[in-house]
């Protein structure tokens, strides 16, 4: 058994920032991750990180834009804190060594983003996540801590309402191990892979969110799922909003610029939820294209000219050529909305604390909530750093006074016994087949437009898949890098989370932000201005609700 | 659609004495990425096939491997062109790193070299960072990083590098490109110390074969940055290694007559003492080519050569 004061699980931006804060507070820290930290999905973020650093901009405007973007479901005290921390956070990352793009005067360059009153998105070309991940990893590398690389999180040990440590699978060593800890920070990122059409990496399976849920933590606002309008058809790879920002236009199979019917003023640059819903409507009403990889619309860049496309959208050109076999300079790009971001996650307060003592969470897998029903571009990278740091500080403080954790050999045995059974049986369910069925179900029944009949059907199907999961069969018998076991662990986690999404979406009889119910098309503040909390029971998630915190901004209709 | 034929390297240390190749045939669209094909093999044929992967969009650096003997990312290598070029798709683990299982290699040597170059800003406490403000950095200063910030640490360059294979102490292309990134960073306060440390630290082991630049999926062009490091190292330290003396000697040698005087170059590179050590080899070369000891005649158009040197000695806009 390993012992540390603070264990951080997940080594993307939130996890690394939490680890740095806990180390700086003098604690013995371990970082556990199923990927090398530089391979974390934070590195895939393209656009930028928001901070109201411009002379004409203000923190208050950033707060207001975030509150409005959240469709008034964000907690305003948390949003105020978040936006105030933005400037110092970005400057700190610059001091750590992040290489940002610069203006002619040498200051941090800023670009305009959807839903923002001013250009306040600081960026590093179209690879801001990678730049931040490099800068933070370089800074963290100067500190002393233990890295458990390529370890899969399998369980949290919680007894008497308090965390005692984690259990994880060491892929290389081929065994399950206990790591005792006074504080655990979960920063394992999102669970976008519950959907088939997603811009998320294969590794985004919500392991930390699922083990927290299993241990009794509340999951908050799980029904709020952001879909990006332009994911590349077959692979779901993100085609940045910048493509439309540079003048790209969407067309249906009749050659119509259909956004003129949905957003006559801002057209293709309407907010993400609006454009996504428009594309789905076009296809549903028979005006989409059809092909072997499903129905779609066209994103056209050809009219922009080769020079502009090649200079401003180089990454997009590469993506289209390498992943779809098409040349966007001369051909339209086939796109359809794909799952992009999870607003929901492990419920925390501003300090990253959960309802379990010693358990903290941060990043996309956590829900403070600052994004409410809809996240603004440029706020997610900022969230990882601001709340990663807070969670690290709080975890360190808790570890300073918490009693010694108690891990028993029975803890490990209880977790490992069923997992061993997966490998020992002769026949059973294929984890990759279960995963695919879950993804198809979520795509079909719990997508952009939702209604009662679909959600009920989706729930029935997810529960049926979930019921088959205990009979999962791990065919690979090797102890070294058994990815077949990882597949099974991950799909087990995701099935639990998929169920909370569907149950939350079914219960919420209104439309707010990214949650669009065709049978309840209006926002209903009187009944639904509240957070959904899901807690695990043997029968499935049990829902309760908590109030939204207001400070200065009264709810208004959200129009752009 | 193409009928893709795969030959995939398989090795499980728990049960295999030696590696073998498994063959798979699958129908797929020509633009299908090799990674997607391997994942199909995992879900449709053999779930025990083991590889690293995550983002599937060439940004996480997980899925570097050899496809038809080239080190590259499986996610952005398409099946069709590989079939056309080679008639089959041979998938093997990266080189210069021990195989742990199938396509998964032990990256410890790669990360060890990365750690050795001190991959973080080194600051001088006498010159603290501006309080509560970013360091200014002009677009021209940002340009000097070239494409090094794009590096995703996939190790394709490390796998492709023959100098890494020959000398395990050689930092390798990625670590050197990363070193370059810190040497040109205006915030870093150890430029000179970094350059002083690297010349005897293996910089000149680079063979200038440019295989790293060819392998790099993000166009980081490590070999060009290694060239820059060599120039900078000579500038701060002079030529202290056989490699740098060879480079400087070559330049001075040709300046004289416009053509290489080979015997002189040996002395310029190795010094008199070094020449003694190479005496046997020298005698063998002399027997085959006795004219080697004579100084060549200056070439016609030596004036033109001198003009080139003058331009090189006083370039407009000094490089870093």
Write the DSSP string, A539-556. Answer: TEEEEEEEEPP-SS----
Answer whether B120 sits within 8 Å of A201, measured CB to CB.
Answer: no
- CA nearest A331: which of A341, A349, A317? A317
Phi, psi at residue A261, to the nearest 5°?
A: -85, -25
- Mind telling me how many Å the CA of B80 is from chain A's nearest CA? 10
Q: What is the mean pLDDT of residues A125-140?
A: 95
Same-domain check for residues B126 and B210: yes
Answer whether A480 sits within 8 Å of B101, measured CB to CB.
Answer: yes
Answer whether A105 sits within 8 Å of B43, measured CB to CB.
Answer: no
Alpha-carbon gap, residue B96 to A198, rounded angstroms: 35
**Structure confidence at residue B285 (pLDDT):** 83
Same-domain check for residues B115 and B229: yes
Q: What is the mean pLDDT of residues A241-266?
A: 90
What are the chain B neighbours of A41 within 8 Å (beta carbons)?
54-55, 60
List of residues 6+ apart from A111 with CB closer than 8 A: A47, A48, A119, A121, A123
Calculate the CA A91 to chain-centre distance: 24
- CA nearest A402: which of A357, A349, A348, A361? A357
CATH number of the domain bearing residue B145: 1.10.1060.10
Residue A440 has pLDDT above 80, yes or no: yes
Q: What is the mean pLDDT of residues A465-482?
A: 96
Q: Please confirm, yes or no, whether A461 is among the known catalytic residues.
A: no
Q: Please tell me which residue of chain A has the smallest CA distance to B138.
A: A106
**Structure confidence at residue B320 (pLDDT):** 42
Task: Among B188, B222, B237, give the residue marking a domain's end.
Answer: B237
Structure tokens at A385: 């750093």
Assess contact for B217 and B200: CB atoms under 8 A. Answer: no
Q: What is the mean pLDDT of residues A310-332?
A: 87
Per this entry, what is the length of chain B?
A: 320
Judge whether B284 lies within some domain. yes
Same-domain check for residues B133 and B232: yes
Same-domain check for residues B208 and B140: yes
Q: Which helix (H) or strand (E) holds B224?
A: helix B222-237
Same-domain check for residues B123 and B100: no
Q: What is the mean pLDDT of residues A544-554?
A: 95
Q: Please give the mean pLDDT across all residues of chain A.
A: 95
What are the chain B neighbours of A105 within 8 Å (beta carbons)?
136
Same-domain check for residues B188 and B142: yes
Residue A528 has pLDDT above 80, yes or no: yes
Phi, psi at residue A48, to the nearest 5°?
A: 160, -170
Answer whether A138 sits within 8 Å of B119, measured CB to CB.
Answer: yes
What are the chain B neighbours of A108 within 8 Å (beta carbons)?
134
Task: Among B219, B237, B255, give the residue marking a domain's end.
Answer: B237
What are the chain B neighbours of A44 within 8 Å (beta carbons)?
55, 57, 59-60
- B residues 186-215 closer than 8 Å to A (CB): 187
Helical axes B222-237 vs B242-257, angle rounded to 10°: 80
**Structure confidence at residue B315 (pLDDT):** 67
What is the percentage of chain A residues whose pLDDT exceeds 70? 100
Judge whether B208 lies within some domain. yes
Assess contact for B66 and B94: CB atoms under 8 A. Answer: yes
Alpha-carbon gap, residue A270 to B246, rounded angstroms: 62
Judge whether B183 lies within some domain. yes
**Structure confidence at residue B319 (pLDDT):** 47
**Structure confidence at residue A509 (pLDDT):** 98
Assess contact for A1 and A178: CB atoms under 8 A. Answer: yes
Q: What is the pTM of this model?
A: 0.95
Of A364-368, A462-466, A483-487, B278-282, give the lowest mean pLDDT range: B278-282
Residue A253 has pLDDT above 50, yes or no: yes
Alpha-carbon gap, residue B16 to B119, rounded angstroms: 38
Alpha-carbon gap, residue A100 to B120, rounded angstroms: 16
Alpha-carbon gap, residue B232 to A516, rounded angstroms: 59
Structure tokens at A309: 């496309």
- Any chain A CB within 8 A of the CB of B116? no
Tell me how many domains chain B contains: 3
**Structure confidence at residue B263 (pLDDT):** 80
Same-domain check for residues B300 and B284: yes
b/e code A409-429 from CB counts within 10 Å (16+ = b): eebbeebbeebeebbeeeebb
- Any chain A CB within 8 A of the CB of B47? yes
Task: Among B67, B89, B105, give the residue marking a domain's end.
Answer: B105
Quote the longest CA-to-CA distance of chain A: 68
Answer whether B60 sits within 8 Å of A35, measured CB to CB.
Answer: yes
Assess contact for A351 and A368: CB atoms under 8 A. Answer: no
The catalytic residue among A171, A272, A277, A558 is A272
Alpha-carbon gap, residue B126 to A3, rounded angstroms: 39
ipTM of predicted complex: 0.95
CATH number of the domain bearing residue B17: 3.10.20.30
- Mind telling me how many Å the CA of A528 is from chain B's nearest CA? 36
Judge whether B309 lies within some domain. yes
Judge whether B320 lies within some domain. no
Q: What is the mean pLDDT of residues A34-45?
A: 97
Segments forming the whole domain that contains residue B296: 242-313
Same-domain check for residues B166 and B209: yes
In this predicted model, what pLDDT tens digit does every residue of A344-385 receive, in sequence order?
A: 999 999 999 999 999 999 999 999 999 999 998 899 999 999
Residue A315 has pLDDT above 90, yes or no: no
**Structure confidence at residue B100 (pLDDT):** 97
**Structure confidence at residue A272 (pLDDT):** 84
- Mind telling me how many Å the CA of B246 is from chain A's nearest CA? 35
What are the chain A neighbours of B30 within 8 Å (beta carbons)?
325
Q: What is the mean pLDDT of residues A181-188?
A: 98
Alpha-carbon gap, residue B121 to A137, rounded angstroms: 11
Judge whether B318 lies within some domain. no
Same-domain check for residues B153 and B202: yes
DSSP label of B138: -
Answer whether A91 sits within 8 Å of B101, measured CB to CB.
Answer: no
Alpha-carbon gap, residue B158 to B168, rounded angstroms: 11
Judge whether B319 lies within some domain. no
Evaluated on CA atoms B129, B133, B139, B145, the torsion sign reads positive
Q: Which helix (H) or strand (E) holds A93?
A: helix A76-96
Higher-scoring residue by pLDDT: B310, A424: A424
- CA nearest A442: which of A462, A456, A463? A462
Higher-scoring residue by pLDDT: B201, A298: A298
Alpha-carbon gap, residue A41 to A46, rounded angstroms: 11
Same-domain check for residues B197 and B259: no
Q: pLDDT means per 10 residues in chain B (320 residues)?
A: 97 94 96 96 96 97 98 96 97 98 98 97 92 94 95 98 94 98 97 91 91 97 97 90 87 87 83 80 84 83 88 64
**Structure confidence at residue B316 (pLDDT):** 62
Interface size, chain A vs chain B, as Cβ–Cβ contacts under 8 Å: 161
Assess contact for B160 and B72: CB atoms under 8 A. Answer: no
Same-domain check for residues B306 and B247: yes
What are the chain B neighbours of A323 within 8 Å (beta carbons)?
31, 33, 57, 75-76
Answer whether A94 sits within 8 Å of B30, measured CB to CB.
Answer: no
Same-domain check for residues B132 and B16: no
Alpha-carbon gap, residue A281 to A272, rounded angstroms: 14
Q: Please tell me which residue of chain A has the smallest CA distance to B75.
A: A323
Q: What is the mean pLDDT of residues A430-455?
A: 97
B37-43 long-range Cβ contacts below 8 angstroms, 24+ apart: B37/B4, B37/B6, B37/B79, B37/B89, B38/B6, B38/B8, B38/B74, B38/B91, B38/B103, B41/B6, B41/B8, B42/A432, B42/A483, B43/A430, B43/A432, B43/A433, B43/A436
Answer whether B132 sits within 8 Å of A40, measured CB to CB.
Answer: no
């Amino acid at each position: 058994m390993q012992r540390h004061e603070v264990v951080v699980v997940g080594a993307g931006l939130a996890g690394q920032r939490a680890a740095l804060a806990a180390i700086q507070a003098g604690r013995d820290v371990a970082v556990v991750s199923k990927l090398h930290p530089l391979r974390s999905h934070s590195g895939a973020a393209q656009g930028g990180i928001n901070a109201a650093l411009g002379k004409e901009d203000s923190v208050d405007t950033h707060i207001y834009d975030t509150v409005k973007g959240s469709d008034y479901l964000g907690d305003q005290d948390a949003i105020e804190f978040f936006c105030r921390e933005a400037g110092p956070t970005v400057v700190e990352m610059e001091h750590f060594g992040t290489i940002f793009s610069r203006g002619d005067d040498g200051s941090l360059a800023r670009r305009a983003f959807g839903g923002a009153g001013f250009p306040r998105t600081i960026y590093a070309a179209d690879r801001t996540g990678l730049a931040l991940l490099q800068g933070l990893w370089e800074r963290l590398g100067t500190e002393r801590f233990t890295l458990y690389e390529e370890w899969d999180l399998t369980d949290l040990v919680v007894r008497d309402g308090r965390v005692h440590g984690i259990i994880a699978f060491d892929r290389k060593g081929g065994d399950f191990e206990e790591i005792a800890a006074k504080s655990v920070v979960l920063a394992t990122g999102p669970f976008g892979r519950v959907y088939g059409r997603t811009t998320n990496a294969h590794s985004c399976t919500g392991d930390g969110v699922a083990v927290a849920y299993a241990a009794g933590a509340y999951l908050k606002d799980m029904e709020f799922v952001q879909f990006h309008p332009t994911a590349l058809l077959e692979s779901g790879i993100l085609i940045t909003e910048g493509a439309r920002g540079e003048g790209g236009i969407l067309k249906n199979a009749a050659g119509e610029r259909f956004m003129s019917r949905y957003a006559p003023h801002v057209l293709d640059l309407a907010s993400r939820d609006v454009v996504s819903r428009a594309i789905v409507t076009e296809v549903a009403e028979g005006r989409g294209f059809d092909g072997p990889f499903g129905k779609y619309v066209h994103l056209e860049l050809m009219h922009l000219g080769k020079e502009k496309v090649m200079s401003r959208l180089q990454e997009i050109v590469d993506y289209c050529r390498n992943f779809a076999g098409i040349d966007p300079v001369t051909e339209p790009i086939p796109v359809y909305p794909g799952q992009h971001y999870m607003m929901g996650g492990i419920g925390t307060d501003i300090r990253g604390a959960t309802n379990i003592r010693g358990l903290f969470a941060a990043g996309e897998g956590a829900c403070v909530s600052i994004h409410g029903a809809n996240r603004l571009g440029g706020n997610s990278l900022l969230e990882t750093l601001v709340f990663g740091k807070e969670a690290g500080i709080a975890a360190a403080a808790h570890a300073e006074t918490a009693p010694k954790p108690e891990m028993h050999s029975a803890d490990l045995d209880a977790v490992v016994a069923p997992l061993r059974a997966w490998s020992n049986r002769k026949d059973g369910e294929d984890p990759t087949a279960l995963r695919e069925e879950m993804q198809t179900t979520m795509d079909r029944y719990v997508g952009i437009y939702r209604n009662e009949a679909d959600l009920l059907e989706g729930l029935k199907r997810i529960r049926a898949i979930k019921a088959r999961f205990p009979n999962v069969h791990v065919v690979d018998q090797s102890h070294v890098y058994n990815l077949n076991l990882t597949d099974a662990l991950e799909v087990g986690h995701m099935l639990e989370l998929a169920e909370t999404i569907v149950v939350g979406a079914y219960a919420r009889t209104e439309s707010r932000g990214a949650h669009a119910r065709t049978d309840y098309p209006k926002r209903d503040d009187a009944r639904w201005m509240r957070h959904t909390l899901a807690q695990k029971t043997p029968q499935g998630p049990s829902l309760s609700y908590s109030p939204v915190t207001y400070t200065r901004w009264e709810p208004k209709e959200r129009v752009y | 659609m193409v009928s893709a034929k795969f030959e995939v390297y398989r090795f499980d240390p728990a049960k295999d004495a030696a590696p073998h190749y498994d063959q798979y045939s699958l129908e797929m669209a020509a633009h299908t990425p090799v990674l997607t094909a391997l994942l199909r093999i995992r879900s449709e044929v053999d779930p025990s096939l083991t590889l690293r992967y995550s983002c599937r969009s060439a940004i996480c650096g997980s899925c570097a491997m050899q496809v038809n003997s080239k080190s590259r990312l499986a996610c952005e290598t398409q099946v069709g062109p590989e079939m056309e070029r080679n008639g089959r798709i041979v998938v093997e683990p990266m080189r210069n790193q021990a195989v742990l299982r199938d396509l998964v290699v032990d990256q410890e040597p790669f990360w060890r070299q990365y750690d050795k170059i001190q991959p973080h800003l080194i600051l001088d406490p006498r010159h603290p960072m501006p309080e509560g403000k970013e360091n200014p950095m002009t677009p021209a200063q940002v340009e000097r990083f070239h494409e090094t910030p794009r590096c995703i640490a996939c190790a394709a360059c490390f796998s492709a590098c023959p100098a890494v294979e020959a000398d395990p102490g050689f930092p390798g292309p990625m670590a050197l490109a990363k070193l370059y990134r810190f040497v040109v960073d205006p915030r870093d306060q150890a430029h000179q110390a970094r350059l002083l440390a690297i010349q005897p630290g293996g910089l000149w082991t680079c063979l200038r074969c440019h295989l790293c630049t060819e392998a790099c999926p993000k166009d980081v062009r490590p070999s060009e940055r290694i060239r820059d490091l060599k120039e900078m190292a000579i500038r701060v330290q002079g030529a202290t290694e056989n490699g740098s003396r060879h480079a400087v000697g070559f330049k001075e040698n040709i300046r004289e007559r416009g053509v290489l005087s080979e015997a002189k170059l040996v002395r310029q590179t190795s010094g008199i003492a070094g020449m003694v050590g190479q005496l046997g080899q020298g005698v063998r070369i002399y027997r085959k080519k006795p004219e080697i000891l004579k100084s060549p005649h200056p070439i016609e158009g030596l004036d033109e050569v001198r003009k080139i040197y003058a331009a090189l000695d006083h370039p407009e806009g000094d490089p870093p």
